[in-house]
């Protein structure tokens, strides 16, 4: 009798351990992985917004237009200035701007109606479609970046 109870206890203990081990493994699941549902939603939604708000100038393939509209498909500016990119999507930008050693100097208009979620989706799209593969851009990163441009 004693033996049976102990065996049962060991069994329950083992099941609990197994449960803990399994939850620890699965909770490490990172939502920035390209196959996550959230990433897919942001990317697809961002692609639609890109078509409506950005592709006229930067072109559907992100290659830009001559010396007038800078490229997003391979841009050292994008690589180095994530926060400024978020700011210019929302607030526009004017003045000299260097991309891959070429100077651009045309104003880009603001998009005041875009929500932080929409900006996160657009950013997820442009930061994963071409040479840069940054994974999902979270709304929190956009909120953070936007506080940095309000100060300027």
Kindly list the residues in this chain that would bind ligand HEC in the complex (CB under 6 A): 53-54, 56-58, 69-72, 75, 77-78, 85, 88-89, 93-95, 97, 99, 104-106, 108-109, 111, 122, 126
Least separation in angstroms between residue 38's CB and ligand HEC is 20
Cβ at position 20, least distance to ligand HEC in Å: 44
Residue 39 or 118 with smaller CB distance to ligand HEC: 118
| CB 52, CB 125: distance < 8 Å | no
Q: Which is nearer to ligand HEC, 26 or 52 (CB)?
A: 52
Q: How far is the CB of 65 from ligand HEC (least distance, A)?
A: 9
Helices (H), 31-81: 37-53, 55-58, 76-80
What does DSSP assign to residue 98? E
Phi, psi of 54 (to 5 degrees): -130, -30
Q: Rounded distance, CA 51 to CA 67, Å?
A: 21
> Smaller CB distance to ligand HEC: residue 36 or 111?
111
Alpha carbons 117 and 21: distance in angstroms, whole number: 34
Alpha-carbon distances of 7 from 19, 21, 89, 129, rounded to whole Å: 18, 21, 64, 56
Task: Report, in Å, the least distance between residue 118 CB and ligand HEC.
Answer: 9
Shorter beta-carbon distance to ligand HEC: residue 56 or 115:
56
């Amino acid at each position: 009798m004693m033996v049976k109870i102990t065996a049962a206890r060991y069994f329950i203990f083992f099941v609990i351990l197994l449960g803990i081990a399994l939850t620890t493994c699965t909770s490490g699941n990172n939502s920035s992985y390209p196959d996550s549902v959230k990433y897919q939603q942001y990317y697809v939604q961002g692609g639609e917004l890109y078509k409506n708000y950005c592709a006229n100038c930067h072109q559907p393939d992100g290659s830009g237009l001559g010396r007038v509209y800078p490229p997003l498909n391979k841009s050292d500016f994008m690589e180095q200035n994530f926060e400024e990119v978020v700011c210019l999507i929302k607030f526009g930008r004017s003045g000299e701007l260097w991309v891959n050693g070429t100077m651009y100097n045309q104003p880009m208009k603001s998009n005041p109606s875009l929500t932080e979620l929409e900006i996160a989706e657009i950013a997820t799209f442009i930061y994963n479609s071409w040479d840069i593969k940054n994974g999902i851009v979270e709304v929190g990163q956009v909120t953070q970046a936007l506080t940095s441009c309000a100060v300027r």
